[in-house]
């Protein structure tokens, strides 16, 4: 039966298409009818290899089971060894416990398709997918090998509970604390958090002040969830778990012994895991930062809270705080056993740590980025297995991962501890690269409250600054400027959006236009590209800081700087971060010119776009001797070309509003302060540009901010205009205000 015919069957008809009848094969293994479909794929692969030993390609698709429930039944009742491996492959691809349960949903019962992929190296892989008529719902892979590989040790099986070999995990943690340099390298101070949750017997706990001497405590990193997508009662439960205060002190109910059953499920299970691993203290933000506490101050101390912890427990298996952290580990229901078909050994693969890090629900929340990057040791708890990562080793439950002890070499970029390692070594160039990587990872994430945009990254900013000031009381030139850094300001200004954002969601009431902090939440950005600063660009000064608790109206005075530099080392970075989040106006100097010629003519994007397969370019044959410009209304790209010259393509930060409204001119003909961060239709000729690097420029619109003549608002950027390297030749150098 073809794939199309099978997918047209109803769920009631699938049972007639019985793939689960088993019989022993030549290796004395139970083999179902569905396995014979896989054998047909292997036979196809043998034919290709005989014709060409370096053949590379994929086989036609074959159906090996009608749906996942049939596969599950075949693995459990029929005892088919191949189906047990394929079932486990699907389960191991599910990061959360809820994702694993989704495999059994009635609406997800569609055919399981198999494809054999051959690589020119000789490797082969079985690619599996559960496909509805409209989409691929689940996918997995099984590795094929000519030689047998060691069979994974069996995980502890059973019903509810931890269902994990915690003895193995305890040994990994013990090995790190006793034999690695993680603590001596990355511990920030000897100070405990202000408040800790002390774990008591019989599912009880008690909020206590952090002891005067260091104690081993675990930190929980988790997602509260999105209140817009969960029942009101669940959000109320999460909020009510917060510790209330009376006269600045936690309420007596929390300072006394209380039941952990009162807390949301993720917190309950995190406390259980922490206790089972032999630790007596845990720090959970919602409980250990009492309501009424100065949240700004606590947020800036996160580098200390996470840096001093025994490890950070990342709740990768839950989507929100009311989900369980602990789930039935369905992947390990059946005993691990070697499996062979047509001379090929089948082996489950390990999900890479980066996939767990970057695709779990917890990674979609803004607060959790700094929690991970500030943690010297991290335990990722997914639905089917745990992962451990420290600066010297990465381990997955039931076997080591590819990343082995570093033997003194620099840590690879995929390692979560790279930021801390660079802070320790003080490599300034790589540290700025890492900050730009942090920006790219941060901007797509979501926040419950957009006003927390600065606070959710404050700990990273404090740690970054102190890494550059680690020579004690020495004066340094670095300043934190609304998410950017002064010592490499031109490069930090050259961020761009992947596609223009909705101007109506701009956060320019929180941050200035030149900072990526002013973008809407959940916008993908690009920060890393070849960059060489223009010799004409110069950062001049911070001009305006808009804050209720800092009253600077210009650049800091020598006295101000001295006060900052003689402050306690731990608090110095915090003071710099608090000041930096309130910077609104800066003055810079660079070469300056119009982006579009005054007599430029607008043409449609479609009239100049040139496509040949996957190759995209421009065709100016219809306009050889004209100054022209064009704007792509779908993604915000804008192109300017002078006659007989190369083109420059920029990326606008925002799409033009659909209900365009133009600014009302003042008496002198100048526009008022811009009512929108977008370039409105018809305003393109007002665009000017400021050179940042040899092939990077800011796109600006006049701001006319009161009190700041020659002030401009950022509206976009142009990067990599190799067709027009001389764009700024002979242009004037000006000092302008960026607002």
Residue 356 CA to residue 368 CA, distance in Å, equals 14
641-670 pLDDT, tens digit per residue, is 998 888 999 999 999 987 544 444 434 444
pLDDT at 527 over 60: yes
Per-residue pLDDT, 5: 44
Instruction: Mention every residue, 6+ apart, whose C-beta is less than 8 A from residue 195.
Output: 207, 208, 209, 210, 243, 250, 283, 287, 288, 289, 290
DSSP state of 513: T
Name the token pair of 387: 């992962």
Q: What are phi and psi of 637, to 5 degrees?
A: -70, 145
pLDDT at 613 over 80: no
Mean pLDDT calculated for residue range 687-696: 95
Please, where are the H alpha helices in 581-661? 605-608
Residue 443 CA to residue 438 CA, distance in Å, equals 9
Q: Please, what is the Cα angle at 570 between 564 and 576, to 5 degrees?
A: 40
Residue whose entry in the numeric block shows the structure tokens 């054998």: 39
Q: Cite the beta strand spans of 263-410 per DSSP E.
A: 281-283, 311-314, 339-341, 344-348, 377-381, 386-390, 394-396, 399-400
User: 3-state SS string over 421-485?
Assistant: HHHHHCCHHHHHHHHHHHHHHHCCCECCCHHHCCHHHHHHHHHHHHHHCCCCCCCCCCCEECCEE
589: buried, middle or exposed (CB in 10 Å: 19+, 13-18, 0-12)? middle
Per-residue pLDDT, 182: 83
Q: Are strands 583-594 and 601-602 parallel, antiparallel or unpaired?
A: unpaired
Q: Which residue has the higher pLDDT, 476 or 654?
A: 654
Q: Are strands 281-283 and 217-221 parallel, antiparallel or unpaired?
A: parallel
Q: How confident is the model at residue 117 (pLDDT cuts 50, 70, 90)?
A: very high
- Whether residue 713 contacts residue 692, with contact meaning beta carbons closer than 8 Å, is answered with no
- Whether residue 89 contacts residue 82, with contact meaning beta carbons closer than 8 Å, is answered with no
- Whether residue 515 contacts residue 738, with contact meaning beta carbons closer than 8 Å, is answered with no
Angle subtended by helix axes 418-425 and 428-442, to nearest 10 = 150
- Whether residue 274 contacts residue 330, with contact meaning beta carbons closer than 8 Å, is answered with no
Of 465, 455, 294, 283, which Cα lies nearest the Cα of 375?
Answer: 283
Give the number of other Cβ atoms within 10 Å of residue 390's Cβ. Answer: 28
Average pLDDT, the chain: 86
165: buried, middle or exposed (CB in 10 Å: 19+, 13-18, 0-12)? middle
Torsion 142-147-151-152 (CA) sign: negative
Residue 488 CA to residue 603 CA, distance in Å, equals 37
pLDDT at 240 over 90: yes
Torsion 680-681-682-684 (CA) sign: positive
Residue 413 CA to residue 437 CA, distance in Å, equals 10
Per-residue pLDDT, 670: 42
Per-residue pLDDT, 152: 58
- Whether residue 314 contacts residue 266, with contact meaning beta carbons closer than 8 Å, is answered with no
Please, where are the H alpha helices in 256-400? 265-276, 285-288, 295-300, 302-307, 353-359, 367-373
Per-residue pLDDT, 165: 64
321-337 pLDDT, tens digit per residue, is 999 999 888 998 888 78
Per-residue pLDDT, 556: 39
pLDDT at 547 over 70: no
Q: What Cα–Cα distance (Å) separates residue 490 from each residue in 426, 487, 677, 698?
A: 21, 9, 21, 10
Per-residue pLDDT, 153: 59
Three-class secondary structure of residue 112 per DSSP: strand
65: left (phi over 0), alpha (psi -120 to 50) or beta: beta
Per DSSP, the residues of 696-728 read EEEEEEE---TT-TTEEEEEEEEE--GGGTTTT
For the chain, give every domain's residue range: 3-145, 161-326+352-472, 586-738
11-24 pLDDT, tens digit per residue, is 444 443 456 676 77
Q: What are phi and psi of 691, to 5 degrees?
A: -75, 130
Q: What are phi and psi of 539, to 5 degrees?
A: -80, 130
Counting every residue, how long is the chain? 739
Rg (CA), the chain: 30
Name the token pair of 688: 């000017």
25-49 pLDDT, tens digit per residue, is 777 777 888 888 999 999 999 999 9
Of 350, 346, 338, which Cα lies nearest the Cα of 397?
Answer: 350
- Whether residue 82 contacts residue 38, with contact meaning beta carbons closer than 8 Å, is answered with yes
Per-residue pLDDT, 501: 96
263-292 pLDDT, tens digit per residue, is 999 999 999 999 999 999 999 999 999 988
Q: What Cα–Cα distance (Å) separates residue 141 from each residue in 116, 133, 290, 346, 589?
A: 10, 21, 46, 10, 55
Angle subtended by helix axes 33-51 and 81-92, to nearest 10 = 80
549: buried, middle or exposed (CB in 10 Å: 19+, 13-18, 0-12)? exposed
Lowest mean pLDDT among 216-225, 463-472, 488-497: 463-472
Per-residue pLDDT, 621: 87
Q: How confident is the model at residue 402 (pLDDT cuts 50, 70, 90)?
A: very low
Q: What are phi and psi of 143, to 5 degrees?
A: -80, 140
373-387, 552-566, 647-661, 670-684: range with highest mean pLDDT: 373-387
Of 94, 645, 700, which Cα lies nearest the Cα of 382?
Answer: 94
Residue 260 CA to residue 334 CA, distance in Å, equals 33
Lowest mean pLDDT among 106-120, 407-421, 485-499, 691-705: 407-421
Q: Please, what is the Cα angle at 330 between 324 and 335, to 5 degrees?
A: 145
What percent of the chain has a predicted confidence (pLDDT) above 90? 63
Mean pLDDT calculated for residue range 448-455: 92
Per-residue pLDDT, 18: 59
Instruction: Mention every residue, 6+ apart, whose C-beta is less than 8 A from residue 38.
Output: 62, 64, 82, 114, 126, 341
What percent of the chain has a predicted confidence (pLDDT) above 70? 86
Q: How confident is the model at residue 360 (pLDDT cuts 50, 70, 90)?
A: very high
pLDDT at 536 over 80: yes
289: buried, middle or exposed (CB in 10 Å: 19+, 13-18, 0-12)? buried
Name the token pair of 109: 């019962």
Per-residue pLDDT, 660: 45
pLDDT at 195 over 50: yes
């Amino acid at each position: 039966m073809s794939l199309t015919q099978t997918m047209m069957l109803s769920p009631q008809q699938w049972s007639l298409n019985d793939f689960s009848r088993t019989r022993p094969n030549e290796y004395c293994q139970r083999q179902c009818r569905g396995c014979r479909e896989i054998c047909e794929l292997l036979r196809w692969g043998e034919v290709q290899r005989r014709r060409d030993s370096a053949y590379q390609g994929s086989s036609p698709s074959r159906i090996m089971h009608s749906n996942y429930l049939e596969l599950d039944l075949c693995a459990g009742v029929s005892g088919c060894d191949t189906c047990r491996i394929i079932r486990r492959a699907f389960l191991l691809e599910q990061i959360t416990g809820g994702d694993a349960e989704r495999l059994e949903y009635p609406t997800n019962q569609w055919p399981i398709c198999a494809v054999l992929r051959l690589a020119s190296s000789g490797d082969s892989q079985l690619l599996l997918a559960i496909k509805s008529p409209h989409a691929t719902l689940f996918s997995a892979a099984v590795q094929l090998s000519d030689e047998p590989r060691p069979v994974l040790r069996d995980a502890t099986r059973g019903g509810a509970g931890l269902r994990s070999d915690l003895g193995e995990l305890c040994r990994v943690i013990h090995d790190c604390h006793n034999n690695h340099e993680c603590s001596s390298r990355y511990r920030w101070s000897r100070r405990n958090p202000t408040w800790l949750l002390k774990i008591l017997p019989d599912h009880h706990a008690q909020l206590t002040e952090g002891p005067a001497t260091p104690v081993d405590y675990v930190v929980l990193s988790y997602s509260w969830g999105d209140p817009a997508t969960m029942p009101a009662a669940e959000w109320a439960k999460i909020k009510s778990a917060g510790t209330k205060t009376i006269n600045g002190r936690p309420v007596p109910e929390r300072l006394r012994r209380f039941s952990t059953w009162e807390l949301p499920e993720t917190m309950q299970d995190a406390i259980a895991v922490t206790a089972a691993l032999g630790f007596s203290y845990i720090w959970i933000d919602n409980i250990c930062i009492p309501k009424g506490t100065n949240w700004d101050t606590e947020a800036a101390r996160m580098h200390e809270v996470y840096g001093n912890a025994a490890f950070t427990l990342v709740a990768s298996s839950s989507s929100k705080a009311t989900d369980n952290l602990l789930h039935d580990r369905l992947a390990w229901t059946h005993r691990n056993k070697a499996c062979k078909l047509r001379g090929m050994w089948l082996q489950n693969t390990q999900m890479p740590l980066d996939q767990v890090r970057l695709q779990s629900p917890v990674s979609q929340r803004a607060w959790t980025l700094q929690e991970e990057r500030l943690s010297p040791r991290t335990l990722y708890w997914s639905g089917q297995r745990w992962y451990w990562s420290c600066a010297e080793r990465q381990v997955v439950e039931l076997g080591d991962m590819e990343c082995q002890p570093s033997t003194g070499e620099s840590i690879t970029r995929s390692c979560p501890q790279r930021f801390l390692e660079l802070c320790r070594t003080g490599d300034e160039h790589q540290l700025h690269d890492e900050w730009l990587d942090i920006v790219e990872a941060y901007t797509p994430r979501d926040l419950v409250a957009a006003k927390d945009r600065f606070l959710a990254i404050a700990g990273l900013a404090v740690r970054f600054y102190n890494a550059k000031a680690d020579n004690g009381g020495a004066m340094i030139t670095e300043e934190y400027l609304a998410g950017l850094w002064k010592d490499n300001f031109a490069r930090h200004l050259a961020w761009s959006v992947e596609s223009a954002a909705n101007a109506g969601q701009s956060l320019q009431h929180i941050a200035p236009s030149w900072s990526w902090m002013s973008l809407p939440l959940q916008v993908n950005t690009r920060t890393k590209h070849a960059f060489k600063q223009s010799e004409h660009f110069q950062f001049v000064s911070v001009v305006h800081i808009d804050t209720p608790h800092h009253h600077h109206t210009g650049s800091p005075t020598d006295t101000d700087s001295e006060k900052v530099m003689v402050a306690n080392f731990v608090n110095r970075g915090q003071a710099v971060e608090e000041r930096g989040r309130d910077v609104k106006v800066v003055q810079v100097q660079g070469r300056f010119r119009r982006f579009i010629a005054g007599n430029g003519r607008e043409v449609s994007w479609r009239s100049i776009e040139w496509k040949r397969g996957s190759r995209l370019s421009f065709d100016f044959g219809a306009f050889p001797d004209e100054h022209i410009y064009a704007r792509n209304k779908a993604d915000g790209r804008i192109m300017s070309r002078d006659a007989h010259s190369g083109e420059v393509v920029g990326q606008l930060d925002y799409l033009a509003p659909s209900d365009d409204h133009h600014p009302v001119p003042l008496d002198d003909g100048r526009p008022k302060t811009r009512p929108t961060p977008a370039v409105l239709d018809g305003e393109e000729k007002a665009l000017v540009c400021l050179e940042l690097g040899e092939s990077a420029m800011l796109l600006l619109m006049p701001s006319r901010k009161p009190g700041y003549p020659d002030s401009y608002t950022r509206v976009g950027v142009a990067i990599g205009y190799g067709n027009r390297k001389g764009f700024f030749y002979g242009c004037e150098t000006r000092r302008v205000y960026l607002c």
